[in-house]
């Protein structure tokens, strides 16, 4: 018996649901429609994906945070030679 494509896809999705949930996360969020349409238009025009948008935004926020947090900046740059006073301030934050 030949199964339809949708039946095969559904069976595959059900079989791999837990694996997918462990590997990926979906954020249930919303953006005002006008802004979302502008973003979608931009992404389509320049050939970016929503994932690339999120990754670039995250990197930009990390860079911005690093400008205000010397310890974070050093960690991001792979700098591992901290002053004792810096290490103490990290311990107090934890």
pLDDT digits (tens, 9 = 90+) for 8-46: 888 888 888 888 888 888 888 899 999 999 999 999 999
Confirm if 49 and 39 have CB atoms less than 8 A apart.
no
Residue 50, pLDDT score: 94
- pTM here? 0.57
Q: In the numeric block, which tokens belong to residue 11? A: 């069976």
Q: Of 88 and 7, which is predicted with more confidence?
A: 7
Q: In the numeric block, which tokens belong to residue 83? A: 């002053």
> Contacts by 8-17 with C-beta closer than 8 Å and gap 24+?
none
pLDDT digits (tens, 9 = 90+) for 48-90: 999 999 999 988 988 888 777 766 776 666 666 656 666 666 5
Would you say residue 3 has pLDDT above 70? Answer: yes
**Of 38, 73, 76, 59, nearest in space to 51 by CA:** 59
């Amino acid at each position: 018996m030949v199964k339809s494509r949708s039946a095969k896809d559904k069976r595959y999705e059900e079989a791999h649901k837990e694996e997918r949930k462990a590997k990926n996360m979906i954020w249930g969020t919303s953006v005002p429609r006008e802004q979302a349409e502008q973003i979608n238009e931009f992404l389509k025009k320049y050939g970016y994906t929503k994932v690339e948008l999120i990754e670039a935004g995250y990197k930009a926020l990390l860079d911005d945070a690093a400008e205000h947090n010397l310890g974070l900046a050093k960690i991001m740059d792979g700098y591992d030679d901290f002053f004792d006073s810096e290490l103490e301030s990290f311990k107090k934050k934890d």
